[in-house]
Amino acid sequence: MERVPVLKIGDILLVSIQIDMEDQVALQLQEDLAEKIVTTGCHGVIIDISALDIVDSFVGRTLATIASVSRVLDAETVVVGMRPAVAITLVELGLSLPGIRTALNVELGIEMLARSRGEVWQDDEDEGDPAAVPAS
């Protein structure tokens, strides 16, 4: 059985799914990730699905479970790279993936993780002011 590799990059675990996963492979990934979060102490997980040409309810549920388990283990998960056709199909299928955070690509996913861990970015000084519209 094939296995989806999990890479550690800094404080982040990066998973790039490059194959059409059998259900068993998806479940294995779920286990591997939980294991890796604990052994590495990483606080962020990025799952890149840009190579997937479909996501069905099984993969959808696996992603949701991964996100929930990670949260329990104090790690934030971001799913990145979902293709437009896949997203349109998921909406029709009725799968809204509640509880999963998403970003358009790996870069934006990393930014999202950084922001939610409170690492304020240089040019984000006025974070406290939600409206940039000047009040007259």
Partner 1 sequence: MNEESRLIPVATDQDVVRVRQLVRTVSVEAKLSLVDQTKLVTAASELARNTLVYGGGGTVEVARVRNEIRAGVRIVFADQGPGIADLDLALTDGYTTGGGLGLGLSGARRLVDEFAIDTAPGEGTTITITKWCR
Partner 2 sequence: MALSPDESGRLADLLSEHADGLVVHWAELVGNGLQGRMSRPELERQTRDLQKGFQQAFAAGARDLTDEEAGELRAQLGELSSNRARQGFSANETAISVFALKDAVLGVIGDTSDAQTLRDFVAFSGFIDRAALFTFDSYVRVREALIADQAEQLLELSTPVVKLWEGVVAVPLVGTLDSARAQVVMERLLQTLVDTGSPYAIIDITGVPAVDTQVAQHILKTVVAARLMGADCIISGIRPQIAQTIVALGIEFGDIATKSSLADALRYVLGKNSYKVVTSKRTEH
By CB under 8 A, name the binding residues for partner 2. 78-80, 82-85, 87-88, 90-92, 96-97, 101-105, 107-109, 124, 126-127, 129-136
- What residue 47 binds from partner 1, partner 2, none (CB within 5 to 8 A, per partner kind)? none
User: Helix/strand/coil (H, E, C) string of 28-91?
Assistant: HHHHHHHHHHHHHCCCEEEEECCCCCCCCHHHHHHHHHHHHHHHHCCCEEEEECCCHHHHHHHH
Residue 68 or 116 having the CB closest to partner 1: 68
Span near partner 1 by CB under 8 A; candidates 6-14, 21-29, 32-40, 127-135: 21-29
In the range 97-136, which residues lie near partner 1 by CB under 8 A?
none
Angle among Cα 45, 62, 53 to the nearest 5 degrees reads: 90
9 scored as a contact of partner 1 (CB under 8 A): no
